Amino acid sequence: MEKENIYILGIESSCDDTSAAILCNDLILSNVVANQKIHAEYGGVVPELASRAHQQNIVPVVHRAIEKAGISKNQLSAIAFTRGPGLMGSLLVGTSFAKSLAFGLEIPLIDINHMQAHILAHFIDEPDHNKPPFPFLAMTISGGHTQIVRVDDYFKMEVLGETIDDAVGEAYDKSGKVLGLGYPAGPEIDKCARLGNPKAYTFTKPKVDGLNFSFSGLKTAILYFVQREVKANPNFIQENLNDICASIQYTIIGILMDKLKLAVKQTGIKHIAIGGGVSANSGIRKALKLAEQKHGWTTYIPKFEYTTDNAAMIAIVGYLKYLEKDFSDFDVTATARLKI
Ligand code: KG4
Ligand code: ZN
């Protein structure tokens, strides 16, 4: 007998992107993301504006995802949604929408941990992407998170280290603000960094025990450094932007790679997967490729559209949970501080 296809609708609304995706087994049929431009003028995500924008976006985004997938909503096997972690108001929009639709269609509801989804995005079936074997180490790096996780199986994960203050993406965005760059500043710093001298300026790396990270001291060091230099030369930023960005990037990548090396040393695991918005960074990608040659690691970098927040990663976890019949009760609630 032919195996029945499983169609999952994934919904992601944890921060400032509204996204819906349709999966047929482990294959993506559609992945629609509506970015919220409104936050750029404030230099960061404004939670209240984010939840209002989700309310406006969610119906058209889900509709578009179903249409693009070429299926009808009656073919859906289950609905997976981000339960947390994230902004409460934003999570509530996706959670209530997913519940109502699953209830109306009389299909299972599956709650998803956003951080697990960043990691399990590596199990989406893609032509040029190898799936990491268990056990592997995952480093999730974005505007909201910085973690190193040991992954022994799909749902057997242990956080080995995480940031004690800012996330790495925040370090990029806040440094960018000091330099007068737009939000989010990560991609722009990355672009300028490629043209500059990474050793032009030295920033001290934070001393944090074990596999935890800290980025707030670096942010302050960059702020004081720029203020001091601008006092002496008002054109300092314009004249040295590439070198400043290259030096910031060099320091941040150094911090991430030092911790990864320590994690490999402690666990003996040499399969390393990354995820989250900062994994689009050219510096970290290059550093990982070098580590493959130098330390014998095998590294896994997701396709660009699965690095930033997206519903395809929610849908793939939905599929994996569907196979285990791990469904949610309809009284499940959004949880802003959900742990892995
Ligand atoms: O995963 P994501 O879209 O959303 C969160 O969950 O935060 O990540 C967004 C973060 C922002 O801080 C942005 O500046 C950063 O990812 N980012 C980058 C690059 N592209 C995005 N940081 C450094 N280099 C990049 N190329
Ligand atoms: Zn995320």
3-class SS letters over 212-275: CECCHHHHHHHHHHHHHHHHHCCCHHHHHHHHHHHHHHHHHHHHHHHHHHHHHHHHCCCEEEEE
Which residue's CA is minimally distant from atom 3 of ligand 1? 308
75 CA to centre of ligand 1 in angstroms: 34
- Mean pLDDT across 25-46: 87
308 CA to centre of ligand 2 in angstroms: 6
Q: In ligand 1, which atom is closest to the CA atom of 184?
A: 14
2 CA to centre of ligand 1 in angstroms: 42
What percent of the chain has pLDDT above 70? 99
β-bridge partners, 299: 272
190 CA to centre of ligand 2 in angstroms: 19
Predicted confidence band of residue 283 (pLDDT cuts 50, 70, 90) = very high
pLDDT at residue 2 tops 70 = no
Closest ligand, as measured to the CA of 307:
1
What percent of the chain has pLDDT above 90? 89
11 CA to centre of ligand 2 in angstroms: 13
Residues with CB under 6 A from ligand 1: 15, 142-144, 169, 172-173, 184-187, 190, 276-278, 280-281, 308-309
With contact defined as beta carbons under 8 Å apart, do 145 and 137 qualify?
no
Q: What are phi and psi of 162, to 5 degrees?
A: -155, 170
pLDDT at residue 43 tops 60 = yes
Averaged pLDDT of the chain: 95
Helix residue ranges per DSSP H, the chain:
47-69, 88-105, 114-120, 168-178, 186-193, 216-232, 236-267, 282-295, 312-323
Ligand 1 pocket: which of 163, 308, 310, 314 to mutate (most atoms within 8 A of CB): 308
Distance (Å) of CA 103 to CA 69, 232, 290: 22, 64, 50
Token digits of residue 236: 């300092």
Q: In ligand 1, which atom is closest to the CA atom of 283?
A: 24
32 CA to centre of ligand 2 in angstroms: 16
Closest ligand, as measured to the CA of 15:
1
pLDDT at residue 1 tops 60 = no
- Mean pLDDT across 158-170: 97
114 CA to centre of ligand 2 in angstroms: 6
- Mean pLDDT across 296-306: 94
pLDDT score of 46: 85
pLDDT score of 3: 73
Least confident span in 1-10, 197-206, 218-227, 262-271: 1-10
Ligand 1 pocket: which of 278, 284, 285, 288 to mutate (most atoms within 8 A of CB): 278
Closest ligand, as measured to the CA of 39:
1
Which residue's CA is minimally distant from atom 20 of ligand 1? 187
27 CA to centre of ligand 1 in angstroms: 25
Q: In ligand 1, which atom is closest to the CA atom of 280?
A: 26
